[in-house]
Structure 1
Amino acid sequence: MAEAHEAVAFSFSVGHEGFNVDVSYDVFKALFYAGYRSWKLRCRRTLNSLYNSLYPGHPSRGIACCGVVAGLYFKGYDPSFHIIDWLESNIFRRYLQPRNGKILACIVFGGGGYILFIQLRQYTLKKLFSYHGWMYQEHGKNIGLVPKIWSVLVKLCVGRNPSLFSCQNFLPSLPLPSLDETLRRYLRSVRPLYDDNEYQRMEKLAEEFKQTIGRKLQRYLWLKWIISTNYVSDWWEKFIYLRGRSPIMVNSNFYGLDAIYIRPTTIQTARAANLTCAAFRYRTELDHENIKPLMIQKFVPLCSSQYERQFNTVRIPGKETDKIIHYADSHHVAVYHKGRWYKVFMFYKDNLLQPCELQLQLDEIIRDTTPPNYGEEHLAALTAGERPLWAEARETYFSSGVNRYSLEAIEKAAFVLILDDEDFEIGTQDVKSDWPTSDKGSMTGKLDDYACAILHGKAYNRWFDKSFNFIVSRNAVFGFNVEHSWADAPITGHLAEYVLSEDIMNYGYDALGNTCGTPRFTALKPIKLKWNIPESCNLMIEKSLVQATKVYNDVDLHIYVQDSYGKGFMKKHRLSPDAYIQMSLQLAHYRDSGHFNLTYEASMTRLFRDGRTETVRSCSIESSHWVKAMEDPTVSKVERIKLLRAACDHHQLQYRDAMSGKGIDRHLFCLYVVSKYLNLDSPFLHQVLQEPWKLSTSQTATTYDDKRLTKLMSQKPDLAEKMALDRLKNIAAAGGGFGPVAADGYGVSYIITSEDLIFFHISSNKSSAETDSKRFGQRIQQAMQDMRELLESESKSASSSKNEKKISTVVPSTDQPA
């Protein structure tokens, strides 16, 4: 392939026969196409920036406005009240003829007036989106007057057909809560965790903090809030992610799994080609900003800033802190197979490769019998071990020569593709079949091994620094591993859903399981990366591998499949599915540990500019009262149900507070950062930040676009006959998970895939005597069963009462015949 010789595109030498000039025109042609594509991309981004700056308006409307102003002016109607005449006489007359000056003055006035109008609309929308009272309206009840007026105003001001980043300019800033309110909420949240003496101590620490340095820290934080778009996100990324010196494998990176009930092929290279091409199509959609921003209530936008670094992004190690580097463009992917690294180009003459063309390259890699270079097989273990060791090795051995070129090929890739040399077993269903005939729960053991392979693999067969790795097993099962610092899970979840739907519904496979189509040209050749790794560097690689192996050998990962009932039952009893599941986790964890523990549930704050996440403290006074009632045989079922509903309602309130900027933990975290910058010690903040999250939870949301699915279904009528639309909505059915946050705690990720199916991803450490992931899965199963029986008793009681009422009211009339 021409691009393989970029380094020798032009050579000049002097010999016995005179000057010798060697020019590779193929390489210059390839470089021309690469430059041409980059130029087009820059132009596209410039136009998109102009469009976004004027949204909810449009440049064409601005031009039309200028035309209307000029037309009215030259017809004798001056809409500017003589401002146009002033502009022409005082500014443009010196340089232009009177008529031309008037035309330009009309354009300036019309354009300026339109921009001013757009700025007013953007300011109005920013103020409107700062209101979150609509979130607190209960479903099924009459909406208040204020939310009604608010929704009408938003619909009047907001534009149509926004692009991905159109709404960024009028998203509000994350509000800064008052110190008193945060401390009050915090003390209420920890009340179930402490006895009276410990709680009084925390109250005293909080009061001392408020009366001493708390107000000062709040004022400094207020200054940061004034000058930044988001007072949390930059510090959160820097101190929570990039400053961490421990391995990011398991501790930070998270994973996602394949579609569990759909197996389109068993040919590894075909599946990898389809998924990779789909990912590049998605990247094109991002570059062109054709993807619509996610909306709540169909007109409240979520922040899209996290999408910017999804591709062409890498985390670079440092001795004290890492950094994230995002490249404007990338024309290739880095591929790993059996200890060897390859550079595979994805474009030919400025055209994205088709899956059938990419599969030929991947087949070349599979057939390649060249052994890895010395040190190459375990090289990626450097990204899995402790960060200072990797930083030292990178600076010492990868800053020049062939090692630098090969490392840049990986780090500058759009993403990493792993062609695994193992099979992932996830079920007994046949290829291309619909739902499996076997019981869903019987797959649990296989899912555990599969999830472990995606979370950490062998530590040396994943490049954990890249924004994400696509992993395809030998039997064509897919998974992805994601570096966490650049964005949160929903962003990659959106990508995964896109590529899986494209893979199955758009690209497809032929009868043999290979990609469809005919290559347009001779197969391109992948470039095998070369490495010159000395013995001293290899010792560092093996040391990092030992560190990483110790980490992943301690992981206890289990997937519990809850298939006896799901969100349909919960909604039937008028309970929020998320709150219901969180209460089941509280009950399960109390039974598992014997006491209440600090519980973390991630909530997004993307209603605000550059928002990421906030914490919902699921262990509350209300939830603890309900859990105790469930364990107390003297408490009636009626009382238990009452307490359950109160606990779910309070959890929903906390979730809404977190989404609307009234959370606790990010505010306290930023106060702690300010205290460190000022060298001020706070026993209260130290206590707060040291409290372990024994139970860390997160819900995996789905973001499928029903309209897009319906369109694809109409284009594939044969596929529509085989698969129901509601099943296609759950292509990414199994979700994903993460490692435990506390050494003696659990990490639980769950995804509600359908009315009767929930996947729980449970992680813990084998070294902890207090935890056991399979045991906790059983606790969740029992808690869900107990809650179901509790609510069913309510239904039976209500039904019985209703029947008795009917019987008592239907009395036979004495004047009717027998």
Structure 2
Amino acid sequence: MEIDVFGMNTHTRVHAHAHTHTLPPLSWFTSSVVSVCCSSPPEMAEAHQAVAFQFTITPEGMDLQLSYQALHQIYRSGLRSWKKRISRMQNRVIKGVYPASPSSWLFVVIAILATMYMRSDPSMGLIAKIQQHLPLSLHVSLSSQGQTMLSALVFSTLLWLSVILALRFCLKLLLSYHRWMFEKHGRTSTTTKVWVTLLRLLSGRKPLLYSYQTSLPHLPVPTIKDTLSRYLESVQPLLTGPGFERMTGLANQFESSLGNRLQRYLKLKALWATNYVSDWWEEYIYLRSRGPIMVNSNYYGMDFLYVTPTSVQAARAGNTITALLLYRRKVNREELKPSRVPGTVIPLCAAQCERMFNTTRTPGIETDVLQHWQDSEFVAVYHRGRFFRLWVYQAGRLLSPREIQSQVQRILDDPSPPQPGEEKLGALTAGDRVAWSEVRKRHFCAGVNRRSLDVIERAAFFVTLDEEDQGMRGDDPAGNLDRYAKSLLHGKCYDRWFDKSFSIIVYKNGKNGLNAEHSWADAPTVAHLWEYTLATDAFQLGYTEDGHCKGEVDRSLPHPQRLLWDIPSEVQAQVSSSLAVAQQLADDVDCHVFPFRDFGKGRIKKLRISPDAFIQLSLQLAYYRDRGGFCLTYEASMTRLFREGRTETVRSCSNESCDFVKALAGGEEEEHCRQLFRRAAEKHQNLYRLAMTGDGIDRHLFCLYVVSKYLGVDSPFLKEVLSEPWRLSTSQTPLQQMELFDLKNNPEFISLGGGFGPVADDGYGVSYIIVGEDMINFHVSSKHSCSGTDSHRFGQQISRAFKDILALLSSPDGKAAMPGSPPQPHTKKAL
């Protein structure tokens, strides 16, 4: 990948010109107001809800008629808004004093007053000095004892704040310790044991979602020497002798000349910014990309593999929407537990949760912009070519699942046809970003189009009520899974709104799934949301015996509102053009989804092998057999141990992995192959640990490249590094909340995980999810236009590699495979 187009983008907002009209007679105005209050066609629904009073002007004066029902709804909505404000203020206080608690202030005050009562001065004279510096007015109005009490309160508060700062500093120091990750399982050092004890003591109180944010360390900048050394080691198995010598020369030249200069700027940014990578990564990798985000950037998540909780489309939509809004409530109230490294008390950064809802990506000429709104009481719905606004709150109350089902059913039963140009309008978000930006500025910045677009962009999320059936069903379950994946990844290219932070798709047979935009967060954040949604839908909200949502229905709820559009021929032409671009991209994608059931992590861990290392080495073997060689391999690792951390690359193709693959493919002795496998697995684990702890290669080189562009200097080395294609892009979809799924009693509720499109035109995209002890689900993607790739063929190679490696390690001499290693953290792809 090569990044270009650097510099700031100047945004020009197009303002609509005001039009002047002759005022109508007063009688027309008053009669129109009454007609608006009394009518209820779809186009008048918004005005009907907005009017809280009616008035008529007569010769006797003005007759004012208040709508108490409307005023009551305004009062309830306002009350909900104020409750949220108070909750936010309360949470700010709780987060601000963590790891202490607000009540600890009272403990300190009582302790100080108790010692003073015992004729002791714990402040060593500071209380007396504070008393001397009290304002003169307080000396006059307060007695001597009152002045002493006030001074003691001031001292207690200052002492309390000092202790909090000290505790937070200690917590930050503790969270900066990462040597625990490099220790063998069962060989924990004394230092690490003490560290764990102290960390547990400081993390004992129940934290809020964002309690750890200010205590997380900043991502360190690796040294130029270390990064270049690791880079050269990673490309050595991929280059011939002369090629490697040339690259070594470029690296040495870069280190001795431009590298140190760029490094100084980068260290300056690291001192100033919260995270020296994340803002540039978001902007230059995602938001400045001018090509379609559909397939190239967005990714998808699937429903349960074997189970569909209900076949009633409106009911599944009702429970899914409700579960998502319950999750949003937990995020807003910070009631979610902070994510942690699996099996530990070590917290992960939660900053990506902030833009999960009410967020959209708006197009620009040079760069897109992420827009986030504080709250939204509605979702945007697409069905059969029409767009609707569906209110999910009534007078500050979240609608019941059955009420949302009833509202969704009204949309499904609505017989009205799409307006001219409305049906395929979503294709604008699937095509090139520049074209969408130009059309948006010319035709969507005023009038009815602006209002309707605002509804979609400000909505909590987007919902598509799809007219197709999907899932593993019928006589061709394998083929149907592949079609299900393609539907979630791109659909018809116009029936999703790809700019939204995420879109929910509910199919006609009750199956569901999601499509997520990538710039605002990485997949572990979305996966956490989706796990909660599926579990809440199936196990908490549930359905009646006939498949409908539970709860009562308020029949007086206003109908969902049709969004109105005025789509001129120029826009319709651009919609067709964008659709053609998107359709060509979608038709080229070859998706293959398959569950591997022969064995899972349970069997692998009995051999004392990291499941992730086993899978990655299997992928290397599969690729070698499929393409006859090796390639630059991307595995995403998280850097959320650091504040605002996102991802780092693990270069899974190493000297050690290539040696193992060549030995096994060449039929060398089993014992020799097992030794090479152990060495390769340990190497992979070490690369993973380095990436997680801030010593990766690719984000550092990327940021150095950005600095070079800002300085206007060219580096042949950096240009070549960032143009290298990732022909094998892999990631593990995390399963983070196992407590929500009882796979022993409900083994059929197995998650399918999710996937993404291929990164390189001649490469593969592979996503996998480890489910329970006995299954690993794979999502493979490639392009039909490349004659050398085939997703189904590669899937067969993966299964074959799995079985061959297990057979190798399970042979009589290979049961004690390798020493244990720490739990493998979860990851997800970043483009």
| TM-score, normalization by structure 1 | 0.91
| Separation of aligned partners in 2, 1:687 and 1:361 | 55
The residue correspondences of 1:209-358 to structure 2 (distance < 5 A) are 209-296=254-341, 297-358=343-404
The structure 1 residue matched to 2:425, chosen from 363, 379, 384, is 379
Q: Secondary structure at the match of 1:697?
A: strand
Paired AA for residue 580 in structure 1: F
| Separation of aligned partners in 1, 2:282 and 2:671 | 46
Q: CA deviation at 1:76?
A: 3.0
Residues 64 and 591 from structure 1, CA distance in 2 versus in 1: closer, same or farther, beyond 3 angstroms? same
What residue number does 1:477 align with?
511
Q: Secondary structure at the match of 2:337?
A: coil
| Separation of aligned partners in 1, 2:761 and 2:187 | 47
Q: CA deviation at 1:796?
A: 7.7
| Separation of aligned partners in 1, 2:395 and 2:557 | 13
The structure 1 residue matched to 2:99, chosen from 56, 60, 72, is 56
Q: CA deviation at 1:509?
A: 1.0
What residue number does 1:204 align with?
249
The structure 2 residue matched to 1:792, chosen from 807, 810, 817, is 810
What residue number does 2:220 align with?
175
| Separation of aligned partners in 2, 1:375 and 1:798 | 65
Residues 534 and 37 from structure 1, CA distance in 2 versus in 1: closer, same or farther, beyond 3 angstroms? same
RMSD: 2.1
In the alignment, does 2:699 pair up with 1:661?
A: no
Paired AA for residue 784 in structure 2: K
Deviations 1:603-662 (A, max 9, x none): 0011110010000000000000011101212x1011111111111110011001111111
Q: CA deviation at 1:42?
A: 1.7
Of 239-248 and 544-553, the range deviating more from structure 2 = 544-553
Q: CA deviation at 1:29?
A: 4.1
Q: CA deviation at 1:501?
A: 0.8
The structure 2 residue matched to 1:583, chosen from 617, 622, 629, is 617
Residues 233 and 629 from structure 1, CA distance in 2 versus in 1: closer, same or farther, beyond 3 angstroms? same
Q: CA deviation at 1:797?
A: 8.5
Q: CA deviation at 1:65?
A: 1.4
The residue correspondences of 1:405-444 to structure 2 (distance < 5 A) are 405-427=451-473, 443-444=477-478
Q: Secondary structure at the match of 1:451?
A: helix
2:472–2:480 Cα contact (<8 Å) kept: yes
Q: Secondary structure at the match of 2:767?
A: strand
In the alignment, does 2:606 pair up with 1:572?
A: yes
| Separation of aligned partners in 2, 1:21 and 1:390 | 47
| Separation of aligned partners in 1, 2:621 and 2:127 | 72
2:467–2:508 Cα contact (<8 Å) kept: yes
The structure 2 residue matched to 1:111, chosen from 132, 157, 168, is 157
| Separation of aligned partners in 2, 1:586 and 1:674 | 34
Q: Secondary structure at the match of 1:733?
A: coil
Paired AA for residue 465 in structure 2: L
Q: CA deviation at 1:373?
A: 1.1
| Separation of aligned partners in 2, 1:798 and 1:74 | 68
Paired AA for residue 742 in structure 1: A
Q: CA deviation at 1:384?
A: 0.6
Residues 312 and 187 from structure 1, CA distance in 2 versus in 1: closer, same or farther, beyond 3 angstroms? same
| Separation of aligned partners in 1, 2:471 and 2:201 | 53
| Separation of aligned partners in 2, 1:32 and 1:766 | 58
1:426–1:447 Cα contact (<8 Å) kept: yes
Q: CA deviation at 1:325?
A: 0.9
Residues 447 and 541 from structure 1, CA distance in 2 versus in 1: closer, same or farther, beyond 3 angstroms? same
In the alignment, does 2:509 pair up with 1:466?
A: no
Paired AA for residue 401 in structure 2: P
Q: CA deviation at 1:11?
A: 8.3
| Separation of aligned partners in 2, 1:256 and 1:698 | 14
| Separation of aligned partners in 2, 1:551 and 1:213 | 39
Deviations 1:732-766 (A, max 9, x none): 51100001111111110001112221111111111
| Separation of aligned partners in 1, 2:776 and 2:759 | 22
Q: Flag structure 2 segments of 5+ consecutive residues without an equivalent.
A: 1-39, 818-831
Residues 10 and 746 from structure 1, CA distance in 2 versus in 1: closer, same or farther, beyond 3 angstroms? farther
Residues 598 and 164 from structure 1, CA distance in 2 versus in 1: closer, same or farther, beyond 3 angstroms? same
Deviations 1:411-465 (A, max 9, x none): 111111111011113135xxxxxxxxx9xxx732110000100110001000101
Q: CA deviation at 1:18?
A: 8.2
1:497–1:732 Cα contact (<8 Å) kept: no
| Separation of aligned partners in 2, 1:4 and 1:732 | 46
Q: CA deviation at 1:24?
A: 6.0
| Separation of aligned partners in 2, 1:200 and 1:366 | 65
Q: CA deviation at 1:574?
A: 1.4
In the alignment, does 2:758 pair up with 1:724?
A: no
Q: CA deviation at 1:143?
A: 1.2
The residue correspondences of 1:712-791 to structure 2 (distance < 5 A) are 724-725=744-745, 727=747, 731=749, 733-791=751-809
| Separation of aligned partners in 1, 2:356 and 2:816 | 52
2:348–2:641 Cα contact (<8 Å) kept: yes
2:671–2:814 Cα contact (<8 Å) kept: no
What residue number does 1:552 align with?
586
Q: Secondary structure at the match of 2:503?
A: strand
1:360–1:523 Cα contact (<8 Å) kept: no
What residue number does 1:132 align with?
178
Paired AA for residue 634 in structure 2: Y
Residues 725 and 135 from structure 1, CA distance in 2 versus in 1: closer, same or farther, beyond 3 angstroms? farther
Deviations 1:167-217 (A, max 9, x none): 111111111111100000000000000011000000000000001110000
| Separation of aligned partners in 1, 2:376 and 2:549 | 24
Q: Secondary structure at the match of 2:777?
A: strand
| Separation of aligned partners in 2, 1:610 and 1:402 | 38
The residue correspondences of 1:629-708 to structure 2 (distance < 5 A) are 629-633=663-667, 635-706=668-739
Deviations 1:307-348 (A, max 9, x none): 111111111111110111111111011111101111111112
Q: Secondary structure at the match of 1:91?
A: coil
What residue number does 1:36 align with?
79
| Separation of aligned partners in 1, 2:503 and 2:805 | 39
What residue number does 1:431 align with?
none
Q: Secondary structure at the match of 1:59?
A: coil
| Separation of aligned partners in 2, 1:794 and 1:396 | 72
Residues 12 and 689 from structure 1, CA distance in 2 versus in 1: closer, same or farther, beyond 3 angstroms? farther
2:98–2:164 Cα contact (<8 Å) kept: yes
Paired AA for residue 626 in structure 2: D
Q: CA deviation at 1:39?
A: 2.0
| Separation of aligned partners in 1, 2:521 and 2:816 | 47
What residue number does 1:365 align with?
411
| Separation of aligned partners in 2, 1:560 and 1:288 | 38
| Separation of aligned partners in 2, 1:537 and 1:681 | 40
The structure 2 residue matched to 1:597, chosen from 631, 639, 644, is 631
What residue number does 2:202 align with?
157
Q: Secondary structure at the match of 2:382?
A: strand
| Separation of aligned partners in 1, 2:381 and 2:268 | 46
Q: Secondary structure at the match of 2:514?
A: strand
1:93–1:101 Cα contact (<8 Å) kept: no
Residues 362 and 579 from structure 1, CA distance in 2 versus in 1: closer, same or farther, beyond 3 angstroms? same
1:258–1:478 Cα contact (<8 Å) kept: yes
What residue number does 2:548 align with?
514
In the alignment, does 2:440 pair up with 1:394?
A: yes
Q: Secondary structure at the match of 1:601?
A: strand
Deviations 1:51-82 (A, max 9, x none): 00110100111122123323433553322112
